[in-house]
A and B are shown apart, each in its own frame.
Chain A
């Protein structure tokens, strides 16, 4: 079947407790492109990611994956190809390997298990050495948890990778490594991230500015000053 975009949001609104969290949001994601969603705190960024991942359903409007409404799909199967990584990296009890293998214990990912060398490689690309495979995650720092969580998401090779502030807990050096890793990933998948990092914003093919649950503008590139002006008092994570 022919489809114009891999994911399409059409007039999507979401209400909770009689309050509009997201209002009439429309955009399309093309294959192997990178998108950045920028907005102040409480503007509805994480809600949009959850809507795209099917964790919540729109109050009105439609979300189409390759032309089909996602609510008509096998939802676990859809989420395994349109994966979301939350800002707070939540790891299952155990070591690094247990966490990297966690998605493959699920029915929707059965039979796709990565090899030991794949796991070691992805860890190294995320700035963690092979020893982290056997290291208990309870001893991980915030940054290490975030890198392991990102490694787990990338290892799944989803078609659409949705990332909520993927570099928020990283120092500048680590952030550079992750940015180059994401650059390489765009050859395989569509990447959609929520971020406050200008380094990530300037590498996106398309930048969406969100305020009070509404998309204010969608641009191919945007200057740092414009972002600063848009975010107002919101501090930059890093510049």
Chain B
């Protein structure tokens, strides 16, 4: 098994930008005014990733627990902000609840993964915490947004049925059992599809990266399987937490639906 990492020489790396010429040619032929956007996006991506590479290199060299923790907290905050910006209907405590759901759900799963699966000393080794955290939090962020959006829209759609249940003596939790279930299912679905397609339709990014960098494919597969299971679990936990926290926000203490007049 070859374990040499093939570095990309600078000239060949620059040659990689030739791929963009194909897009530019197609844009020119079909007269789509996107050339400027395309060049700006490619330049942004280049600058951002190089900055990220330097930051990661510095963090990997420093190996300080509080820097790793600070980076993870920033990632959690940014993920919460992205969810908040993405959803249309925002309740008062949405940002706080999303942050809490992500930290409690994805954070717990990340910690378990680092302790049980990776088992390295120190636990906060940034070479593991940062990429694994990114994958788990990134997926949890999507699950959180999907769960909340679906929950809100189904409560709005079914508000007459919810009112009927309330009028018979249902608590707010009992009145939204069906919508809760529907939203949880919607949040699960993308990761279920990804899991069943993994290894057939596409090789996942992490596994591809490990193989390219010279890892044994079997080790790469083991990492991929465990991370997929961790992502599934984290998505479920985050979706459950955000639904549980937001369910309360739609009602007041008298089990009255707040969005009745929306």
Contacts and interface: CB of A to CB of B under 8 A. Distances in A.
Given A76-B169, A86-B163, A106-B170, 8 more contacts: A79-B169, A80-B168, A83-B167, A83-B168, A85-B167, A86-B164, A106-B174, A108-B169
A56 B256 contact: yes
Interface in A210-236: none
Interface of B: 160-161, 163-171, 174, 178, 254-257, 260-261
B167 A109 contact: no
B169 A86 contact: no
B161 A79 contact: no
Q: Name, among B160, B161, B168, B171, the residue most crowded by chain A CB atoms within 10 Å (CB to CB).
A: B168
Given A55-B256, A57-B254, A109 B160 contact: no
Contact of B254 (A16, A71, A80, A102): A71
Nearest to A56: B256
A54 interface: yes
B169 A80 contact: yes
Contacts of B261: 16-17
Contacts of A105: 174
Contacts of A90: 160-161, 164
Interface of A: 16-17, 53-57, 71, 75-80, 83-86, 88, 90, 92, 102-103, 105-109, 152, 156
A105 B171 CA distance: 11
Contacts of A152: 168
Nearest to B161: A90
A86 B167 contact: yes
A96 B170 CA distance: 19
15 contacts: A53-B167, A55-B167, A56-B256, A56-B260, A57-B254, A75-B255, A76-B166, A76-B171, A79-B167, A79-B168, A79-B170, A84-B167, A88-B160, A102-B168, A106-B169
Contact of A86 (B160, B178, B254): B160
Nearest to A78: B169
Nearest to B254: A75
Contacts of A71: 254
